[in-house]
Amino acid sequence: MASEIRGLLEQVRNIQLLETQKKEIQRKQGVDASRVKKIFENQERLRENIRSMEKVSGTSRLLERYMNDMDKEESDLIETRKRIEEAEESIAGKDKESENLVLQVTMKAKQIKKNCC
């Protein structure tokens, strides 16, 4: 019976570990979502600068720089969105694993209670 209880406690610790991992993934996902917002804000600023430069001559180097910045930000945006999607999948996996462990713990605890009393 003691080994069964130790096994049960180990499963509970695993559930806690999964929840901790899930919270860390959610934190990183929040950072990435914030990054997406900042990218959009910066791209809007770059678009405004590009529009204002259309009427001015001799700005080809600056315009090229803005276009390069837009290209870099688009690449960053693609990577960040991919990480957000991967985080969502990881969170779903952690939730499923946690649900399974909770079910196992619940059933095992009921079995131990039944055998004990």
Break the chain into its structural domains and give their ranges: 2-116
Average pLDDT over all residues of the chain: 93
pLDDT attached to residue 39: 96
CATH class of 2-116: mainly alpha
Apex 76 CA angle, 74 and 78, nearest 5:
70
Q: Tokens 């990435």 map to which residue?
A: 32
Instruction: Kindly report, residue by residue over 53-88, the tens digit of the pLDDT.
Output: 877 777 788 888 999 999 999 999 999 999 999 999
